[in-house]
Amino acid sequence: MKIDNRRIDFACGKIVEYSLYCLVFFLPASKSMVEVCATTAFFAWLVRKINNLGRFRGGPTRPSFFYAVVIANLVMLIPLAVIISSTLSTHNMDLSIATPLPSHIALIVSLIAIGVLGIIVVSLYYTPHIDLSLKLPFLLLLDIAVITSMFTSRHIEISLGAFFFKMLEYLLIFFMMAEVINTKRRFVNILIAISASSFIVGLDGIYQIITKHDFLRGFPLYAGKMTASFQFPNNFGGYLTVALPIFISFIIRGTARRKIRISLLVLSALLMVCLVFTQARGAWLGFIVGLFVVSLFSGKKTFFITIAFLIILFSFSPAVVKDQVKSFARLSTDTSTDDRVIIWKTGWKMFTDRPVFGHGLGTFMNVFSGYKPKSYSEIVYAHNCYLQMAAEIGITGLLIFLWFLFALFKSAVFRAARTEDKFLKAALTGITAGILGYLAHSFFDTNLFSLSLAVLFWSMAGLAAANIESE
């Protein structure tokens, strides 16, 4: 029986596409569904790549340095097989394996893992839907994750788990989003999924305020603050910081039909009420950053209207909101901020102790206890994503991540400026603004290290990086 490669390619492509739609839809409500969707998308994507291995054609037109990096990545896979096999057979693995594997099974698993990494590297080289300026920092991010989890980490079993079950998953979500959501129809579909999901979680937040429990996951209010289906109000605020600028961008630019614009206006009002009730100051700051970015790309008139809107909004806000805003000016009296100062000082000590490659991917909480003051009993994340990144993967990893962000924003802004399609221009503006707001919020919270919010970031980054073709 002859295998029809085209049918396999088509079926796998559809599985990946609809898995990504489901992934962004279930983001606020179910971590298990996010994992199921991400895993389904990955295996279908992998089968598709293996099916097409013999048909790769034409890499970048000027590949010299990038080509050398690709070759270096493939050569590095050889010692990786030894390290992974050795670790799997001698350590209890964090997140995945409760006991060490027999040596022959560990070797087979390591070779499979190395084969997958090799396919990812080769596929990235031949993927036309991602700009070359983004491919290099993407590969280097993959490299630094490997180096800091398998070569420089003092907790290799923890770092190896963090690499395969967190960092690699996030990078693959970015890769699949940028590669698969490559037409306007798919772009519209994924924005519909985000809109529907945001509407449901917004209603969930209002329901939680009224009944004291949300209806999606049964979470109670957190110290009187709205969380909706998220465990903490800051996490819900982080989600809203990304979603709101997308909808506001379409409203301001008037690129949709009137009924759709009215629907987006109602949705935005609902989500803004939820954002207020989270009482998450970092998320408020992130939203303001995103709103200003959208307004700046929409003209001076819109920018000044935005400033007036924020002033009016603050003037008519409840007393609790005004007190939260005013607390920015008296941070020394804020308990939450006092905790963060202690954590940040500890994180800085961790960074300065091993500044180049850090303590190892995913090891912040494990190393934290050896640096924190004896009087501080908590073991926590850094509540500053950039500081935690520096402590875990060093200044080298942090600079590569910032390089990736710069290349991402440059690519998205240039494409938004060049396109004549008003829909894509509004979408790219809103997504870019949402990511910038998210990154501003990440100075004060754990967004990049929370599963749902990390998947949200890398999904939106993939959409910002996608080169959209006409149908």
75-118 pLDDT tens trace: 777 677 777 777 777 766 654 555 676 776 777 778 778 888 88
DSSP run (H or E) holding 57: none
Contact in structure between 267 and 202 (CB atoms under 8 Å): yes
Contact in structure between 148 and 360 (CB atoms under 8 Å): yes
Least confident among 76-85, 325-334, 375-384, 416-425: 325-334
Helices (H) and strands (E) in the chain, counts: 18, 0
Query: What does the buried/exposed string (b/e) look like for 317-354 if buried means 16 or more CB atoms within 10 Å of the residue's CB?
Result: eeeebeebeeeeeeeeeeeebeebebbbebbbebbeeb
SS3 state of residue 422: helix
Name the packing angle between helices 451-465 and 5-26 (round to 10°): 130
- pLDDT score for 378: 79
Least confident among 226-235, 268-277, 367-376: 367-376
Closest among 440, 416, 445, 443 to 242, alpha carbons compared: 440
Rounded Cα distance between 375 and 203, Å, is 42
Which tokens hold the place of 283?
Answer: 């998320």
Which tokens hold the place of 453?
Answer: 């919010």
Burial class, 20, CB count within 10 angstroms (exposed 0-12 / middle 13-18 / buried 19+): buried
- pLDDT score for 325: 61
Contact in structure between 244 and 271 (CB atoms under 8 Å): yes
Of 85 and 396, which is predicted with more confidence?
396
183 DSSP β-pair partners: 469
Which tokens hold the place of 432?
Answer: 């870019």
Of 73 and 153, which is predicted with more confidence?
153
Burial class, 179, CB count within 10 angstroms (exposed 0-12 / middle 13-18 / buried 19+): buried
Rounded Cα distance between 456 and 370, Å, is 32
pLDDT at residue 64 is higher than 80: no
**Phi and psi torsions of 183, nearest 5°:** -130, 160
pTM listed for this prediction: 0.90
Mean pLDDT in residue range 329-344: 71
pLDDT at residue 1 is higher than 50: no
Task: Return the amino acid letter for 390.
Answer: A
Rounded Cα distance between 211 and 221, Å, is 9
Rounded Cα distance between 101 and 85, Å, is 9
SS3 state of residue 317: coil
Task: Return the amino acid letter for 140.
Answer: L
pLDDT at residue 62 is higher than 60: no
- pLDDT score for 362: 92
- pLDDT score for 408: 95
Closest among 254, 307, 250 to 429, alpha carbons compared: 250
Least confident among 163-177, 264-278, 297-311: 297-311
Query: Can you say how many angstroms the Cα of residue 357 is from the centroid of all Cα atoms in its chain?
Result: 22
The average confidence (pLDDT) of the chain is 86
Task: Return the amino acid letter for 195.
Answer: S
Which tokens hold the place of 105?
Answer: 């099974």
| Sign of CA pseudo-dihedral 265, 269, 274, 276 | positive
Which tokens hold the place of 409?
Answer: 């924003």
Query: Can you say how many angstroms the Cα of residue 398 is from the centroid of all Cα atoms in its chain?
Result: 15
Long-range CB contacts (< 8 A, 24+ apart) of 74-77? 74/118, 74/121, 74/122, 76/143, 76/146, 77/114, 77/117, 77/118
pLDDT at residue 374 is higher than 50: yes
Least confident among 226-240, 270-284, 317-331: 317-331
Q: Residue 340 — very low, low, confident or very high, per pLDDT cuts 50/70/90?
A: confident
Mean pLDDT in residue range 413-423: 87
Count of residues making up the chain: 471
Which tokens hold the place of 417?
Answer: 């400026």
pLDDT at residue 337 is higher than 80: no
Mean pLDDT in residue range 378-388: 89
Q: Residue 403 — very low, low, confident or very high, per pLDDT cuts 50/70/90?
A: very high
In the chain the first and final C-alpha atoms are separated, in Å, by 34
Q: Residue 345 — very low, low, confident or very high, per pLDDT cuts 50/70/90?
A: very high
Rounded Cα distance between 361 and 166, Å, is 10
